[in-house]
Chains A and B, each alone.
Chain A
Amino acid sequence: MKSYLVAVTLCVVLAWGCAHKPAVVSNPAPPADAHQVREAMAAAKSEPSRATTSPLPTSDAPSSPKAVAVTPLDAKSSLPSPELSAKSVSGNLDDYQDIEEPAPAKENEKENEKATIADPLEPFNRAMFQFNDKLYFWVMKPIAQGYSKVVPEKARVSVGNFYTNLSFPIRFVNSLLQANFERAASELGRFIINTVWGIGGLLDPAASKEIDLKKQKADFGQTLGVYGVGQGFYIHWPVFGPSSPRDTVGMVGDTFLYPSVYFGAWEVWAGSRVIERTNDASLHIGDYEAMKEAAIDPYVAVRDAYVQYRLKMIKHQGGPPPPGKPGLLEYD
């Protein structure tokens, strides 16, 4: 009896343990049974016109029994999406009811309040956004493209590593100021390892699987935020881009921790920053374009992304929310 119970418990514990593998590397071929189960579930749920599981063209039947007349997305539409035109309403009609105030709406309000920023300078900011947009397309991008043709990607990643290593004092000092000693130690370790064994920071052996000290972010604007300084309002600087009074002070403060400031003339510093920016841009060609393409209002999209990003950096100091706690943007 006892041994039987032990055996059952053991089996269940093992099965439970398997469901909680800490890191599952994606398997190119998912288990077939999972496929079947999901497909069976979907098939049982789907209405005749919702043949979602079938990749075959059978679902483009022009006359759908469930087609409700809402501004039909006609065949002329530049986006050829036969499945969409066949099915002009997504989901159940019940899903389209008003949202009730107490549940989702209030939560949204709370989120909104936290993740927005005052923008009294909007006309100026929008003009600067346009300026930076042109600066990118007319100057930065052509230079970065030329540069990436001459310098292979591996070398550019190395140059990026070098600059990251060079800005170590910013992350180290700010981690200390934030009393985040774990991160300070990690950054110090990274700096030593990468400087000594990474050819002066050109390589990043510290981030390898064996050592696993990944780069973490820390800056003075974040430090101020951790100590309760609010973001204030939005500023879109020419050249430097999204910022706030707090983060502008932070940016200026951090330059004093940047080693090349102390190496001779300002031209050295400026030149070094230009190379850094060009190198960085060459590794991210297409990102800005993709963001702009995806956005309805690119200016607002950039502003919001900046606010969300900074908020998260201050709240969780850049890392993911601790386990068991709800995510930042859900409820507090």
Chain B
Amino acid sequence: MKKPISIVITILIICLFMLPAYAGVPMNTVQANVNKVLDVLRDPKLKGEAAKEIKKKKLRAIYEQMFDDVELGKRTLGRNWNSLSVPQRQEFVILFRQVLEKAYIDKILAYTNEKIVYERETMISPTQAEIQTKVITASKEVPITYKVILKGGSWKVYDVVVENISLVMNYRTQFNDILAKNKPEQLLEILRKKVKG
């Protein structure tokens, strides 16, 4: 009779500790993805201008795993999301991703062995968390916070906060400003130009 009880107690104890232990998953996910990016950037086989396109392609694949770009787009448009038609929303998400790629790819490719420290994970709700990290360069430390959401079993980034400035918020203010005076179609046109120009 003793055995089943001990098994039950064991399971209970494990369950008890599994709950908080689960909180480590968002940070591990972000860290694993960042490490994948670093692997690509540090790959000695991918040196020079010629390998740039290959690097970009690999980074794009990582981005798709790491980010939830529909969630990102939704939060960036905020209330205005509903004033776009569904095809417009679809185009917006893709255009916005390209805008971000264009804006940040060179900064990411310029990475040279800065140290990254993973400081803290804060659960905001059972499906949302914030991961605070720091990028340490020779002259300064840049705090970067990743906001992640649990979707389809994996934690995906939906906002990046650099030096206390949220990417999503910053673009949302700009898009709100444009949409206050213009139709959604005009916003898409501005983004199309931005991507091409």
Contact = CB atoms under 8 A, between A and B. Distances in A.
Contacts of A59: 61
B94 interface: yes
Q: Please tell me the size bucket of the interface on A.
A: 35 or more
Interface stretch (A37-45, A190-198, A242-250, A266-274): A37-45
Contacts of B153: 41, 45
A23 B174 contact: no
Interface in A28-43: 28-30, 34-35, 38, 41-42
A4 B13 CA distance: 12
Contacts of B173: 115-116, 300-301, 303-304
B60 A83 contact: yes
Among A160, A304, A312, residue most surrounded by chain B Cβ atoms (within 10 Å) = A304
B190 interface: yes
A34 B196 contact: no
B174 A26 contact: no
A55 B61 contact: yes
B177 to A, nearest CB: 5
B174 A297 contact: yes
B57 A99 contact: no
A265 interface: no
A105 B20 CA distance: 30
Interface stretch (A86-94, A138-146, A171-179): A86-94
Interface string A71-113: 1010001111111100011111101101100001100110110
Interface in A102-161: 104-105, 108-109, 111-112, 115-116, 153, 157, 160
Contact of A98 (B36, B81, B170, B197): B81
Interface of B, secondary structure class, is: helix
Contact of B61 (A53, A105, A157, A300): A53
Nearest to B139: A157
Interface stretch (A181-189, A223-231, A251-259, A319-327): A319-327
A24 B35 CA distance: 12
A61 interface: no
Nearest to A307: B173
B120 interface: yes
Contacts of B139: 153, 157, 160, 283
B79 A16 contact: no
A286 B70 CA distance: 30
Contacts of B69: 90-91
A242 B96 CA distance: 27
B58 A309 contact: no
B169 A304 contact: yes
B174 A304 contact: yes
A4 B6 contact: yes
Nearest to B87: A70
B178 A297 contact: yes
Contacts of B152: 45
B34 A26 contact: yes
Interface string A55-66: 101010000000
Interface string B157-183: 000010111100111111111100000
Contact of A12 (B13, B122, B154, B166): B13
Given A19-B21, A301-B173, 15 more contacts: A12-B17, A19-B28, A20-B20, A26-B116, A26-B117, A79-B102, A79-B196, A88-B90, A90-B64, A112-B78, A116-B173, A153-B139, A283-B139, A300-B173, A308-B164
30 contacts: A5-B9, A8-B14, A19-B24, A23-B119, A26-B34, A29-B39, A30-B32, A52-B64, A54-B61, A55-B58, A70-B87, A71-B91, A73-B94, A73-B98, A78-B197, A79-B196, A80-B53, A84-B98, A95-B70, A105-B82, A108-B79, A293-B102, A294-B104, A296-B194, A304-B169, A308-B165, A309-B163, A323-B120, A329-B161, A330-B128
Closest 9 CB pairs of A and B: A294-B103, A19-B24, A304-B173, A30-B35, A108-B78, A26-B116, A91-B70, A95-B70, A312-B164
Interface of A: 1, 4-5, 8-9, 12-13, 15-16, 19-20, 22-30, 34-35, 38, 41-42, 45, 50, 52-55, 57, 59, 68, 70-71, 73, 77-84, 88-93, 95-96, 98-99, 104-105, 108-109, 111-112, 115-116, 153, 157, 160, 214, 283, 290, 293-297, 300-301, 303-305, 308-309, 312-313, 320-321, 323-327, 329-330
